[in-house]
Each structure stands twice: as C-alpha cells, then as structure tokens.
Amino acid sequence: MFAAAQTGTAPTKLSLTAPTAAARTFEPLDMALTTDGTFANPYDPAQAQLDVSFTSPAGKTMTVPAFWYQDFDRATLKPKGTAGWRVRFTPTSVGKWTASAAFTKPGLKSAPLTFNVAASDSPGFVRIDKQNPRYFAHDNGKTQQFYFPIGLNLGWASEQPGTIGSTLDSYERWLTQLSKNGGTIARVWMADWGFGVEGKDTGLGNYGGRQLQAWMLEQMFEMARERGVNIELVLLYHGAFSTTVNPEWASNPYNAANGGPLKLPGDFVTNPQARDLFKRRLRYIAARYAAQPNLFAWEWWNEVNWTPISDGDLKPWIKEMTGVLKSYDPYNHLISSSYAYGGTSDLWKLPEIDFSQQHDYAGRDPLVWGRRDIESFIETAPNKPVLLAEVGYSANGTGEPLIRDEIHFHNAIWAAPFAGYASSGMYWWWDTFVDPQNQWPQYKGLADFLKGENLGLMTGQDAEVGTPDAAALTLQSKTRALIWLRSSTYDAGEANAAYSKALIAQKAGPDWKYDMPIRYKATVKVDGLSDGAYTAYWYAPQKNVWLSVIPVAVKGGSVTLNAPSFDKDLAVKIVPVGEPRTP
C-alpha cells in the first residue's frame, strides 16, 4: 500500500511558463512547469521536490511547492490533456514579481520569469479581527474589513465522485443558493467518499488515483469564490480513525490490515511513519489549495473525540503539523479543529489554534443556551472567536414535524450572533433538509439585517421584554443597538411537544399545524445607550422585509419600544438620527 520504489530519470531541464491570465492581487494564478525528468511517484518529495519562489516588488520572497496536476473535462469527467507540473500562487501586492523554480535534487533551477500584478477589489484573506480578536476580518495587508460568516455545512455530495456531473452540479446549486441569500461560508470535508485525495484505493503517499477528486475540489473552490463564499476545509474526520462512531477504520489505508503502518487507529498521531506520510499529504493539499483566497481556514479534525486519540497525544501532533502546514502555506490561513457537542479542552489555548468551534445537536433552544455555552469557550480561550460550526435539532437527522426543524434552523441562524458567536449557526443537514426544503431564504434575513454592521464594536445584553411569553437579546454600543425579539412558543422543543401530544390524541394528521399565538402588545426596553434622538427600524425575519420606521428618544440611557404584532420573531435596529440604517 505504499508508494513505488524510486525509479525514473533525473531532470536536466526546467522552465516556468508565464501565467495565461492577467495577474491581480488576491486572485490565484496558475503556471505550468516543464521538465525532462520522469518520476515513478511525483507526489513523493523524496523523488521530486519541486518548489517555486516568488519575489515581490518589495523584495520579499514566498516559496510554495509545485504539484502534479491532471486536468479533466467537466462534461465527461474524463482526463483532458496530459498530466504535468503546475504551481498555484496568489500575489498580495501590485507591481513586478519574479518567479523561479527549483528541484531540490539534483539542484536544478529554472530561469527567472517576471510578471506584472495589477490591483483587484478583493478584500484579501480572512484573519482575526485586530479591533476585536473574538471576530474575523478580511485583510488585504493594508486595511481590515469586518467579516461575519453566514452559512452552513456542505460536507460532501451524496453522489460518488466520477458520476457524471453529479457532485459539481450539486455544489453549484448549493453555492448559488447560499450566495443568492447572503451566505458567505461553507464547511467542506475531504472525506474518503468525497474530496479526499488519499484512500484505500490509492494506497499511501500516491494520489494519482484521486486526481479527479483533487480537480473537483478545485472546481468547488472556484465556484465558491465566484459567488463570494469562503470555505472551511476539514482535513481529517473522526470515522476514518474510529471503530465505534461512524467506523471506517477497517477501510483506512493506514490500517495494518490494509498494508498500512498502524495496528491501532490512535497511533496515527504518534507513529513516525504515519506522521511522515501525512506530512506528504499536507504538502500536496497546501500546494493545490492554499493559494485559494476564499480558503477561510484549515480544520485539522472533525470531532476528534470520537477517535481513540487523547488530547495528550493530539496537542504535540497539532503543534508539529501546524509547523509543517505553515511552511507550505505562505498565506498563513487560519487553523482550527473540532469536537462533538462543544468541547472546552485546553486545545483551544494552543497558539496553533486560531479559533474555537462548537457542535450542538441537543435539541435545545439556541436563544437560551447560546450565551451560556459560549462562556465556557471564552473562559478557556478568551481572545479567540468561537464558530458555531455544526448545529442541528438532532444528530439523527430531520423528521416529523417539519416545523420543528424549520424553527430550530431559523433560531440557530439568528441566535448565534446575539449570543456572541463569530458566525451564524452553521446547520448540518444541507442535502436532506436545507436544500430539498428550500430553506435557503432563511439566510437572507440575517444577512440583510447585519449588512454593514461591525459586531466587534458591540457587546451582548439581555433586553427587558414587557411580556412573559417573549424574550429578546441585543448587541449594542453606546450609540447603536441591534435587537432580536422572539416569542416563547417559536421554539423547536415546544413544537415537538405539541406534535407529540397530537400523536397521542391521534390528531397529528397531514393537516396538523403548530399554533403560535400572536403577541399584540410586546414592549422591549433597552438600556446603556447615550441620550439623544434615534430612529427604530423594525424588521420581519420571516419575510425578510423592513417594516415600520419609528422615531424614539433615549433618556437616562434607556428607551422602551412598542413592538409590532408578531407570532414568531422580529428584529429592530436603533440608530442615531441622521445615521444610515445600513452603515
């Protein structure tokens, strides 16, 4: 199951081809490399370590690995043209750049190549917000632009790669709908049945049998970039190293039973041979995808606590692998990992981990548990963002009644920012619920309401609601407030309980509806604003439309608003007179 022994012919010639497209800042460009060398395994740097150095107009040099590339035809998914070397690079400044390639062995270098880079309107890579490190920002090296990710998981397509059109058609549909409704992030797995470049069918350390998957992942990145969607890329998932939860250890190429070096799955992070093989995979992954400006972050593990790997063994592995990954990723993309159902491990304290992540499938009300849960993450790593990276009513999928999952989906999206998370709730059931039930417009409401707002300048508070059957959360500064007001009956648990009663009474037929009474006279009191004249802009999250515009006055730091009638939820902005509703 390991790569073939070294054979081939040593290179004596090496040249770089100028990029075919115009080069612009923060846009990836590809260059082909030609050589007369041949390699039994071009994915093994011991046989072929080919790197390209790019020198900026300021004299700063960035070195990235080249990679072996096979193009494919989108219509047939058949190889197109011949395979060869390629390098992918994203320039970060305007002016004349110089590139030169080199084989470490036998010390062969190409002639330098120069190309000019023009400015683009790209906001740059995603970084930690300098104003408030509990949030994110786009950074072009000169300025930062606040970024609040709104989106969901798009882990894989149900169809197998290689089925003509299926996988890419699914991602194109999903990403189009997400973008159309204001979404800006998707979390994607490099799963064995999805975009993974190494599996039982390839053996270890040779990715020739997964070039289609590697190419399709590139196409997905491009689709997302064209639509303004960033990708959180999950490198490893729990099932591949688990014998109990979604167990796939039996088919893992690292398993000794399949010719791999490991007798036990937990040895993956401690076995020297396994670590070296994974470093090789990291080099290839970074070579192909690190230049993507819409790569939001690398995620080491999905729910690593479902594997036998302990935190004690995991921490040194993460330290080691982060150093390796950063040596191949000169763009310094963010890095994280994840646990099932939260996880307040000391892992979040590691400097190698840029942000924390929570997963939740407990069926709880996000309005209630959001702020409680996030406090434990903040206590562990107080100056890092927390992403609500997976959420669903149940880990067993969606079901009856549909209204239960629709309510939970909506509440997870809206509660997350008001609870202090650095993203919307990123729902899990993309291919069985969000897409087939056309829940995409739910994202538009939050995207429209938060457009232009810098949540990093605000703090979360509880507003006082003048009725016991509703609650409200706020995000506010001294001169601006965002408020989410919600009925107590607009809760998935309440809907599920009502459906259960109907089942017992044999009244849960096709015509069953969950009744939510209209709240006619709700009031919301907000404290902590500077005195003065303001305007309240009411918003209907269920219809994604702005409602009434009401002049209000803040006196003694407080203002009480009379809410329009509602049965589910409302939102409102309080803005000083003369300032725009959308910054």
The answer to whether residue 202 scores a pLDDT higher than 70 is yes
Non-local CB neighbours of 254 within 8 Å, separated by 6+ positions? 204, 241, 260, 261, 262, 265, 268, 274, 277
* Of the listed ranges 97-111, 301-315, 337-351, 406-420, the one predicted with least confidence: 337-351
| Fold held by 462-576 | Immunoglobulin-like (2.60.40)
- pLDDT tens readout for residues 434-469: 999 999 999 999 999 999 999 999 999 889 999 999
Say whether 128 sits in a helix, a strand or coil.
Answer: strand
Backbone phi and psi for residue 340, each to the nearest 5 degrees, phi listed first:
-80, 140
Position 88, amino acid? R
The whole-number pLDDT of residue 466 equals 95
How is 218-242 classified by DSSP, letter by letter? Answer: HHHHHHHHHTT-EEEEEEEEGGGG-
pLDDT band at 173 (very low <50, low <70, confident <90, very high): very high
What torsion, rounded to 10 degrees, do the Cα atoms 167, 297, 21, 61 define?
Answer: -150
Cα 357 to Cα 60, 284, 389, 421: the distances in Å are 34, 26, 6, 9
Question: Crossing angle for the helix pair 311-328 and 272-289, nearest 10 degrees?
Answer: 40
pLDDT digits (tens, 9 = 90+) for 203-213: 999 999 999 99
Which of helix, strand or coil describes residue 212?
Answer: helix
Using CA atoms, how far apart are residues 461 and 529, in angstroms rounded to an integer? 12
In this structure, of 156-170, 373-387, 472-486, 523-537, the range with the lowest mean pLDDT score is 156-170
Percent of the chain with pLDDT strictly greater than 90: 94
User: Between these two residues, 2 and 7, which has the higher pLDDT value?
Assistant: 7
Helix (H) / strand (E) element for 320: namely helix 311-328
- The pLDDT assigned to 3 comes to 47
The pLDDT value given to residue 462: 86
CATH superfamily of 151-455: Glycosidases (3.20.20.80)
Q: What confidence category does residue 218 fall into, taking pLDDT thresholds of 50, 70 and 90?
A: very high
What does the block give as tokens for 244? Answer: 């109990």
Sign of CA dihedral 269, 270, 274, 277: positive
Mean pLDDT over all residues of the chain?
96
pLDDT for 17:
96
Q: What is the pLDDT of residues 29-48, one digit of tens each?
A: 999 999 999 999 999 999 99
pLDDT in tens, 377-399: 999 999 999 999 999 999 999 98
Say whether pLDDT at 565 is over 70.
yes
Whether the CB-CB separation of 354 and 335 falls below 8 Å is answered with yes
Query: Domain extents for the chain?
Result: 8-118, 151-455, 462-576
For the residues of 496-526, what is the DSSP string, one character each? Answer: HHHHHHHHHTT--STT-------B-S-EEEE
Residues 6 or more apart whose Cβ sits within 8 Å of residue 255: 249, 262, 265
Q: Are 391 and 153 in contact (CB under 8 A)?
A: no
Q: What band does 106 get if pLDDT is binned at 50, 70 and 90?
A: confident
CB atoms under 10 Å from CB of 184, counted, come to 22
Transcribe 344-377 into DSSP letters: --GGGGSTT---EEEEE-S---HHHHHHHHHHHH
**Model confidence band, residue 2 (pLDDT cutoffs 50, 70, 90):** low
Burial of 507 (0-12, 13-18, 19+ CB in 10 A): exposed
Q: With helix as H, strand as E and coil as C, how does 445-486 read?
A: HHHHHHCCCCHHHCEEEECEECCCCEEEEEEECCCCEEEEEE
Q: What is the per-residue pLDDT for 344?
A: 76
In terms of CATH, what superfamily is 8-118?
Answer: Immunoglobulins (2.60.40.10)
DSSP output for 133-199: TTSEEEE-SS-EEEE---EEE----SSPTTSTTHHHHHHHHHHHHHHHTT--EEEEE--TTTT-S--
Residue 159 confidence (pLDDT) above 90: no
- The Cα 507–Cα 497 span in angstroms is 13
Return the residue matching tokens 């232009």: 452
Confidence of residue 483 (pLDDT cuts 50, 70, 90): very high
User: CATH topology of 8-118 equal to that of 151-455?
Assistant: no
